[in-house]
Every structure is written in structure tokens, then in C-alpha cells.
Amino acid sequence: MEKKMRKVGFPVLLVAAGIGLSILFIYLFTEVAEEVLEEEVKGFDNAIISFFKYIETGTLDQVMAFVTELGSVWFLSLLSTVTIILLWVKKRDRWGILFFIIGIGGGGLLTKILKFYYERGRPSINPEYDAVGYSFPSGHSMGSLIFYGFVTYFIVRSERRKTIKWMVSAAAGILVLWIGITRIYLGAHYPSDVIAGHLAGAIWLILSILAMEWVTWQHANSVRPIKAVRKFLAQFL
């Protein structure tokens, strides 16, 4: 019985930590959204937009235009297809593929729902940079965080060397932040759109990964999760 409880303990703590973090991000997202609706972020948004206009150069324009494509729908769709193929060919990871699809597809659907709910106009309309439709939250920011975050998680939980895991995690984090910055620089989004996109993306990513790990753990162990969790929690109550 003690052995079973130890097997239950880590997943329960992981789920609890993930849910706690998700609740924090949900709170932060609702705070940003409320301030956007009440137009209390104009000063913050305008100050950052003014800074990026001040540092504009032709070369920087080209760099930002290139980086922003790394978070575009077509590019992430292409990489998602490649990721699914690799997960199947190398790992036969059925649960990983299923929840990866749910994470990417559900994230895209959630972005559309939030955009139509808040109906915030963009700083400027430019189809060349996918700057059409509603602005809040930033789809590039949300989509890139979900995709690169999911891929990073697959690598982190693999058997690769720690050095590689740290390098991939750092590179993915920098890239996601950079993609968000390009949306502000190119005039496609307000800074508050990007922040909200990152928060919403983090929420969906965490919930998708938690669901994947919980289902994977359940099928890999003979312990019945609900019953075992009750017994685990009973030890502390």
C-alpha cells in the first residue's frame, strides 16, 4: 500500500502545482482583460509602442518580419505536422500525439473565441503581417507559446542530456518572447494583447500537459487514480 501511495503522490502534487499555476495565470489574464475593457492600459501600451517606433530601422524591420513568421499559423501548422510524424515514427506516443493535437487545435479555437468576445481593434491593419481581425489576445503570442512550450516539454521529459534540455528551454523561451515583441514592433498588436496571449497560452498549455500526463500515468499503472487519490489525500486530512 505504501508503494502505491508513493506512486500516486508525485502525480497528485504535479496536478496540484499545475492547477495552482493555472489559477494564477487565469487571475492575471482576467485582470489584464478587465483593464483593457475599461481602457486603463492606454498609457502602458502607448509608452511601449512609442519606444519601438523610436528604435525603428530598415534592418530591424526585416528581422522582426522574419521572426514574426515563426509564430504564424501556416508555420506552426507545418511544424505541428512534422512533430506529430516524429512522435509517431520515433515514439509511437499515441497519448502525446492526441494531447498535442488538442493543445494546438484547442488553443487556436480558444484564441478565436477570446478575440470575438473582447472585440478589440488593432493598432493598425496590415495583412502582410497577419494583422487582420480582432487584436485581443495576440494569436501569435498564444500559439507560439503553446507550440514551442509543448515541444520543449517533450524534449525535457525525454532521455536527452540536461545541457540540451536547458539550451532548448532557454531558446524556446527567448523565441516566444521575441515573437511577442515583433507583434508590437510591427504594429499588429498592443503590448497588453501580447501579455494576455502569453497568459492564455500558458493556461492552455499547462492544462493540456497535465491532462496528458494524468492519462498516461493512469494507463501505465494498475492504481485506480480516483480511489488512490482519495487515500493519498486522506493521509493529510
* Per-residue pLDDT tens over the stretch 193-207: 999 999 999 999 999
H or E segment and range at residue 167: helix 162-185
pTM for the structure as a whole: 0.85
Label residue 130 by pLDDT band (50, 70, 90).
confident
Largest CA distance in the chain: 66
Q: Which three cell numbers stand for residue 18?
A: 499545475
Which residue type, as a one-letter code, is found at position 40? E
- Residue 1: is its pLDDT beyond 60? no
Residue whose C-alpha cell is 492526441: 98
Residue whose C-alpha cell is 486603463: 40
Q: Which three cell numbers stand for residue 82?
A: 512534422
Contact 99, 208 (CB under 8 A): yes
Average pLDDT over residues 142-166: 91
Label residue 125 by pLDDT band (50, 70, 90).
confident
Contact 82, 1 (CB under 8 A): no
Task: Collapse the DSSP code of 237 into the 3-class scheme (helix H, G, I; strand E, B; otherwise coil) and give the result.
Answer: coil
pLDDT tens string 9-30:
455 666 777 788 888 999 999 9
Mean pLDDT of the chain: 85
Give me the residue spans of the domains in the chain.
2-234
pLDDT tens string 22-80:
889 999 999 999 988 888 888 889 999 999 989 899 899 999 999 999 999 999 999 99
